[in-house]
Structure 1
């Protein structure tokens, strides 16, 4: 059963699951008054907070909580940019997880270590579960569709793809530095997928000032079908983030046999394994070298693509579900 404080968007709805909707404001009242009462009324055996928000103080049943990352603790610069209210809320919700969750799910070994380091949680309370790719990323895209999409988006030649937000943690400014460090005739465009707003415009201005704006293609948000097509036509997915608790774009591309170029920060090397190239997130020159190397070396791309296909079965939602159910059973004992 899903417990929600607002209606679920149709794209996230699961038809086979009943939904308990509690439109109670403020959110803290929903979390600590309405939710425990609903759990008791429905006789729930285990409650799972799929992010580290929403753990009730007085749950009538065992609680499992997922922590995707502790970016505010791992990256002090990010915490400094947050308002005092947001920082306090993060700290309070993390404290609730530590005090009230019987089991804590981490989405990578790196995140598990971060939880132990910053929250002082004993290793035996933490379980690592994977994440996976939607079914659309397991279906080979026809070459004609890939080519039509490339032409439509002005990506006629080779290109890289980057997927996600434009917040500071994503470190997309590294692309500006990498392209500026590359001779114009050797530059490969980067397709940036994601809604960016003011942050995207700020990045565009930086690119204009550096003279590399034509090589950054701001595509905005796209659906999964279009995203799969973009992955399929790319040389690689590039993730230059300062920190990622998992790195879903790497896995989505992996399922399509597309390698990755990732920063050495957070969980990205763990998730990528031998299916990509790694560079320091504070070194745009190293990113430029990696992008040029992969663009020139056909044999390397083929080798990494094969490794990506072999690694993809490690990251499926079916495997994630089995691991998560095992955590529920252990929490219920």
Structure 2
């Protein structure tokens, strides 16, 4: 599409406010329902090739080798694309007994999963926006992932991002993050303020401004 830059306006999405404040009761319910342990990293999304399950599991395996308590929680619709996850589990050395697969969950449950995670582990090779990283930030949880597509624009300084398609680098970033409580506190402090920069009020105002400009 050869559209002149001056005719393009980017209006980012936002997330619902329920991601910002999951209740303690909801957190306990989630832990009981899924057997979610105290220390886990989270993946949320689909399982198609773009989401890079091999890279995700390889990075987690690197973290799990260092941290004996670490688990991976995978939340997503186990529909027709679940075979990509199954094959990735067969190809990689990720410890399957330390992986919890929840299937599709509702938004309150998802918010509690985000809030309880050490980080969102995001290995996607291409993202048009990066809604799950934004949801994670809204829940106060940093992102460890690839600088792929628009993810860097969303995450900003509220996460640890490495060059795409390098699972060893992603695993090293995860290990370093988990071993550095000071960095974790710093990034958690940045997460919600970063997410607050993306709001539906702002999206509506920016959209209205475009309509007025072209009217």
TM over 0.5: yes
Q: Matches of 1:144 and 1:301 in 2, distance apart?
A: 24
Q: Please say if 1:231 is aligned against 2:114.
A: yes
Local SS of the residue matching 1:269? helix
Displacement over 6 Å in runs of 4+: none
Q: CA deviation at 1:121?
A: 0.9
Local SS of the residue matching 2:35? coil
Q: CA deviation at 1:266?
A: 0.9
Q: Matches of 1:257 and 1:183 in 2, distance apart?
A: 23
Q: Matches of 2:148 and 2:91 in 1, distance apart?
A: 28
Q: Please say if 1:189 is aligned against 2:71.
A: yes
Gaps of 5+ in 1: 1-118
Q: CA deviation at 1:227?
A: 0.6
Q: Please say if 1:296 is aligned against 2:179.
A: yes
Closer, same or farther in 2 for the Cα pair 1:131/1:184, shift >3 Å?
Answer: same
Query: 1:145-184, CA deviations, whole angstroms, 9 ceiling, x for partnerless residues?
Result: 3133123212212111111111111112212222344564
Gaps of 5+ in 2: none
Give the total of aligned pairs.
Answer: 213
Q: CA deviation at 1:209?
A: 4.6
Q: Give TM-score scaled by structure 2 length.
A: 0.90
Q: Give TM-score scaled by structure 1 length.
A: 0.60
Q: Matches of 1:161 and 1:182 in 2, distance apart?
A: 13
Q: Matches of 1:229 and 1:266 in 2, distance apart?
A: 27
Q: Please say if 1:284 is aligned against 2:167.
A: yes
- Greater RCO (Cα-Cα under 8 Å, separation 6 or more): 2
Residue 206 (structure 2) aligned to one of 323, 327, 331: 323
Q: Matches of 1:260 and 1:176 in 2, distance apart?
A: 16
Closer, same or farther in 2 for the Cα pair 1:179/1:255, shift >3 Å?
Answer: closer
Query: 1:180-209, CA deviations, whole angstroms, 9 ceiling, x for partnerless residues?
Result: 445645263222221133432332233145
Q: CA deviation at 1:144?
A: 4.3
Pairing of 1:77-96 with structure 2 (within 5 A):
none
The 8 Å contact of residues 174 and 240 in structure 1, kept in 2 or not, is answered as yes
Aligned Cα root-mean-square deviation (Å) = 1.9
Per the alignment, residue 24 of structure 2 pairs with: 143
Greater gyration radius: 1
